[in-house]
Amino acid sequence: MRRMLAAGDPTMTPEMMQNRGAEIAGEYGGMGNTMPPAFLWYYQCGYKERWNDPENHDPSMKRSFDEYITEAVDKGWWDPSYAQAYQRVEPRVLFEAGGNLLRRQRGGQKMLLEHLWPKLKMIVSVDYRITTTGLYSDYILPAAQHYEKLGNSMPSVHHLNFVLCDRAAAPVGEALPDVEIGFRLIEKIEERARVRGMKQVTDGKGVVRSLENLVQRATLGGAVRDEEKLFEEVVRDNVVYGVFPKGTTLETLRDKGAVRFDGWGIVGHGVSQGSTIRPDEVHNPLRWHTEDKVPYDTLVRRAQYYIDHEWFLEAGEELPTHKEPPPQGGRHRRFQMTSGHNRWSIHSMNMTNNIIQNTHRGEPFVFLNDRDAASLGIANGEKVRIVNDVGDMILAAKLTPSCRPGQVIVYNGFEPYMHEGWWSQADLEPGHVKHLGFVGNYGHLKYRLFSWQPIPADRAVRVDVQKIG
Amino acid sequence: MGTITTSKRQLAWVFDLNKCIGCQTCSVACKVLWPQEDPGTAQMWWMTVNTQPGRGTPRDWETMGGGYDPKGTLRLGKIPTDEEVGGGWDFNYDEVLRGGKGRSVHLQKTAGSKTWGMNWDEDEGGGEFPNAYFFYLPRLCNHCTQPACVEACPHDALFKREEDGLVLRNEDKCKGAQACRRGCPYKKIYFNAVRNVSQHCIGCFPRLEQGVAPACVRQCPGRAAFIGFLDDESSAVSKLVEKWKVALPLHPEFGTHPNVYYVPPFAPAPLRADGSFDEGGHRIPPAYLASLFGPEVHGALDALRAEMEKKRRGQSSEIMDTLILYRWKDALGHLERDPATIVWK
DSSP secondary structure letters along B54-65: S-TTTTTGGGS-
Is B118–A358 a contact, with Cβ atoms under 8 angstroms apart? yes
Residue A410 CA, chain-centre distance (Å), reads 20
Bridge pairing between strands A335-340 and A208-210: unpaired
Q: What is the pLDDT of residue A111?
A: 94
Q: Which residues of chain B have a pLDDT value below 70? A: none
Residue A206 CA, chain-centre distance (Å), reads 26
The reply to whether B104 falls in a domain is: no
Q: Of B75, B333, B88, which Cα lies nearest the Cα of B212?
A: B333
Q: Omega into B264 within 30° of 0, i.e. cis? A: no
Q: How far apart are CA B198 and CA B178, in angstroms?
A: 6
The reply to whether B1 falls in a domain is: no
Chain B environment of A130 (Cβ under 8 Å): 97
Non-local (6+) Cβ contacts of A386 within 8 A are A337, A366, A392, A393, A394, A395, A408, A410, A428, A463, A464, A465, A466
Bridge pairing between strands A383-387 and B11-16: unpaired
DSSP secondary structure, B163-198, as one string: TT--EEE-TTT--S--HHHHH-TT---EEETTTTEE
Q: Of B12, B48, B50, B18, which Cα lies nearest the Cα of B264?
A: B18
Name residue A90's beta-bridge partners: none
Q: What is the pLDDT of residue A157?
A: 66
Non-local (6+) Cβ contacts of B251 within 8 A are B62, B185, B186, B258, B292, B293, B294
Nearest CA in chain B to A422: B103
Question: Residue B40 corresponds to which amino acid?
Answer: G
In this predicted complex, what is the ipTM? Answer: 0.94
Q: Counting beta carbons within 10 angstroms of the beta carbon of residue A267, is it exposed (0 to 12), middle (13 to 18) or buried (19 or more)?
A: middle
Q: How far apart are CA A50 and CA A431, in angstroms?
A: 9
| Among B21, B28, B127, beta carbon nearest to A359 | B28
Nearest CA in chain B to A351: B107
Name residue A305's beta-bridge partners: none
| Among A346, A417, A418, beta carbon nearest to B23 | A346
Non-local (6+) Cβ contacts of B163 within 8 A are B7, B8, B9
Chain A environment of B107 (Cβ under 8 Å): 352, 415, 417-418
Q: What is the pLDDT of residue A35?
A: 78
Q: How far apart are CA B260 and CA B184, in angstroms?
A: 14
Chain A environment of B123 (Cβ under 8 Å): 343, 367, 398, 400, 402
Q: Is residue A354 within 8 Å of B91, Cβ to Cβ?
A: yes
Q: Is A360 on the interface with B (CB under 8 A)?
A: yes
Report which DSSP code applies to B115.
Answer: S
Q: How far apart are CA B85 and CA B115, in angstroms?
A: 10
Reported for B281-289, long-range contacts at CB under 8 A and 24+ positions apart, including other chains, are: B283/B127, B283/B131, B283/B133, B284/B133, B284/B135, B288/B53, B288/B126, B289/B264, B289/B265
| Among A355, A362, A369, beta carbon nearest to B109 | A362
Q: Is the dihedral of CA A274, A276, A279, A282 positive or negative?
A: negative
The reply to whether B295 falls in a domain is: yes
Non-local (6+) Cβ contacts of A391 within 8 A are A108, A110, A423, A427, A428
Is B119–A422 a contact, with Cβ atoms under 8 angstroms apart? no
Specify the DSSP element, H or E, that contains B323. Answer: helix B318-324
Q: Is residue B60 within 8 Å of B72, Cβ to Cβ?
A: no
Q: What is the pLDDT of residue A32?
A: 57
Residue B258, domain CATH: 3.30.70.20
**Nearest-neighbour CA in chain A from B49: distance (Å):** 9
Q: Omega into A177 within 30° of 0, i.e. cis? A: no
User: Where does B205-331 show beta strands of DSSP type E?
Assistant: 225-229, 248-249, 260-263
Chain A environment of B22 (Cβ under 8 Å): 343-345
The reply to whether B19 falls in a domain is: yes
Nearest CA in chain B to A344: B23
Answering whether pTM is above 0.80, one says yes
Q: How many domains does chain B have?
A: 1
Q: Of B22, B264, B294, B121, which Cα lies nearest the Cα of A397?
A: B121
Q: How far is CA A332 from CA A387, A392, A429, B24, in A?
A: 12, 16, 16, 39
Test the B interface: residue of A366, A402, A410, A422 with most B CBs within 10 Å: A402
Name residue A209's beta-bridge partners: A201
Domain span at residue B241 reads 11-88+116-341
Report which DSSP code applies to B80.
Answer: P
Q: Which residues of chain A have a pLDDT value below 50? A: none
The reply to whether B71 falls in a domain is: yes
Q: Is A400 on the interface with B (CB under 8 A)?
A: yes
- Please write down the HEC assignment for all residues of chain A: CHHHHCCCCCCCCHHHHHHHHHHHHHHHCCCCCCCCCHHHHHHHCCHHHHHCCHHHCCCCCCCCHHHHHHHHHHCCCCCHHHHCHHHHCCCCEEEEECCCHHHHCCCCHHHHHHHHHHHCCEEEEEECCCCHHHHCCCEEEEECCHHHCCEECCCCCCCCEEEEECCCCCCCCCCECHHHHHHHHHHHHHHHHHHCCCCEEECCCCCEEECCCHHHHHCCCCCCCCHHHHHHHHHHHHHHCCCCCCCCCHHHHHHHCEEECCCCCCCHHHHCCCCCCCCCCCCCCCHHHHCCCCCCCCCCCCCCCCCCCHHHHHHCCCCCCCCCCCCCCCCCCCEEEEEECCCCCCCHHHCCCHHHHCCCCCCCEEEECHHHHHHHCCCCCCEEEEECCCCEEEEEEEECCCCCCCEEEEECCCCHHHCHHHCCHHHHCCCCECHHHHCCCECCECCECCCECCCECCCCEEEEEEECC
Bridge pairing between strands A208-210 and A200-202: antiparallel
Q: How far is CA A385 from CA A336, A419, A466, B301, in A?
A: 14, 11, 5, 43
Question: Residue B340 corresponds to which amino acid?
Answer: A
Q: How far apart are CA A276 and CA A105, in angstroms?
A: 36
Specify the DSSP element, H or E, that contains B309. Answer: helix B296-312
Q: How far apart are CA B128 and CA A235, in angstroms?
A: 53
Angle at which helices A227-240 and A178-195 pack, to 10 degrees?
A: 110
Domains in chain A, ordered, with CATH?
335-467 (2.40.40.20)
Is B106–A422 a contact, with Cβ atoms under 8 angstroms apart? yes
Q: Beta-carbon neighbour count of residue B51 at 10 Å?
A: 22
Q: How far apart are CA A405 and CA B130, in angstroms?
A: 9
Is B117–A403 a contact, with Cβ atoms under 8 angstroms apart? no
Q: How far apart are CA B121 and CA A358, in angstroms?
A: 12
Q: Of B203, B199, B115, B205, which Cα lies nearest the Cα of B157?
A: B199
| Among B23, B108, B118, beta carbon nearest to A345 | B23
Q: Is the dihedral of CA A236, A239, A243, A245 positive or negative?
A: positive
Q: Is A109 on the interface with B (CB under 8 A)?
A: no
The reply to whether B109 falls in a domain is: no
Residue A421 CA, chain-centre distance (Å), reads 26
